[in-house]
Chains A and B, each alone.
Chain A
């Protein structure tokens, strides 16, 4: 549906989301991130009007010195303990996601509504909620967007079981007083750092598991049934030491995604319980029997425990 035919409310929400991606001012502040399992980190954040974000971790202790740079065309993740800089380049990825999500909002496949207002870090924020029409997992994404500048002040992610994660600013300075410089988003690799290129090819290498299987040293498994609305986005294949290979299968319903990474199982590999104390675990490891050798399968996603268990059971 063309944007001109949308309701004023939906048009306003689209406008807020556009400004969230490319805010109207630079900013700097402190932020907290909480994820399932009681994990908490704190960061110093800097952002610019192009949507770039620089994150410097201030806690927990073993993340101090780590930094992230998130930009429309690239990603950098420095791990101080390993002195390693991961880099990924993805020209046009944000634009592609923007088109996909906005197209789904215009078509009604994703419901986007302003559901409230709240003051976050001293600034007035509009709360925008996104829900996928087809996601039976009940996935909901909420964004608290500064009404004046479009800066994202908070976000939350939930599924049918409840809150999965959230990040929120605790203090913020907006505009030139934030002291943000373009060079903040091009940090050099620290001395002696090993530079690791992630995903030299951002788009999946193979469209199907059958195509990828020709490059693998094992017979891969894939789910016989998928949660409603999900499809395989693509497969990446990796060389591993000692001549082994691994495969990453990524699935999406165009709103959320989950990944299955698989490789031949190592002798010491053990499965972990599917649920943590909070009732769900977004990273699970399964041992799956396969024709030639047992496989380690790492599931990464936000499906409910029931959906993840069904996925696990159907792997063959």
Chain B
């Protein structure tokens, strides 16, 4: 495979953006050939294709379960007792944000949008026509005690993550400072949250 060229980064981004459609054979013929040609020349993208195929195979072969009627209620109860959670915005905002994300993702890409549409229709058909099998829920384990992450450590860890999202910043320095600030805290639960 040939060496990296600065134009490759753009090509790789484009190819990796359509790998899902390529695997599902949903791309126009010409684009399929271009992607295939790139995959024979680019180790990174070939690796990304292999990993995606492995993930799809895992999902296809994983054991399926049908859940009890109170599964979601129990799940939320466990989540509420263990972790601070982000408050969900209003359903209208969630839908509009989701739709905006879809529009951005499929801008100019009709085939993947149609593919998604067909997939959603298929899922809806299956959901409406299949009868759930009987399922006996496994006993719910005792929830973990509430961790006092209502402390300085949570915003500092989030700040480290936000710093890492910027390729022109230094998350290692942010991580080091966060550790130091937590250790200095006078609030016992701040330090306990590290344990």
Contact = CB atoms under 8 A, between A and B. Distances in A.
B177 interface: yes
23 contacts: A18-B6, A20-B167, A34-B173, A50-B12, A63-B179, A68-B175, A75-B164, A86-B157, A88-B161, A130-B168, A167-B170, A194-B144, A198-B161, A202-B165, A206-B89, A237-B87, A239-B84, A241-B84, A246-B155, A268-B186, A268-B187, A270-B186, A282-B177
A205 B86 contact: yes
B162 interface: yes
A283 B156 contact: yes
A239 B85 contact: yes
Contacts of A25: 4
Contacts of B159: 259, 300
Interface in B1-15: 3-4, 6, 9, 12-13
- Which 7 residue pairs of A and B lie closest in terms of their CB atoms, listed nearest first? A165-B173, A261-B155, A240-B150, A283-B181, A88-B161, A93-B165, A24-B4
Contact of B87 (A203, A238, A263): A238
B152 A37 contact: no
Interface stretch (A77-85, A117-125, A222-230): A77-85
Nearest to A38: B180
B126 to A, nearest CB: 27
B44 A50 contact: yes
Nearest to A262: B155
Interface in B176-190: 176-181, 184-189
A90 B171 CA distance: 15
Given A37-B177, A215-B87, A24 B3 contact: yes
Interface stretch (A2-10, A94-102, A303-311): A94-102
A165 B110 CA distance: 47
Given A22-B9, A37-B177, A238-B84, A75 B165 contact: yes
Q: How large is the interface on A (under 10, 10 to 19, 20 to 34, 35 or more residues)?
A: 35 or more
A189 B86 CA distance: 22
A77 B47 CA distance: 24
Contact of B162 (A167, A199, A200): A199
Most central of A15, A242, A266 by chain B CB within 10 Å: A266
Most central of B86, B164, B178, B186 by chain A CB within 10 Å: B164
Contact of A21 (B4, B80, B87, B167): B167
Contacts of A40: 176
Contacts of B167: 20-21, 51, 72, 94, 97-98
Contacts of B69: none
A210 interface: no
A237 B160 CA distance: 17
Most central of A75, A200, A237 by chain B CB within 10 Å: A75
B23 interface: no
Contacts of A18: 6, 9
Contact of B176 (A33, A82, A241, A248): A33
Given A93-B166, A202-B165, A283-B181, 10 more contacts: A49-B4, A70-B171, A75-B161, A75-B164, A86-B161, A130-B168, A198-B161, A200-B86, A205-B86, A300-B155
B86 A236 contact: yes
A248 B157 CA distance: 12
Contacts of A43: 172
A163 B189 CA distance: 32
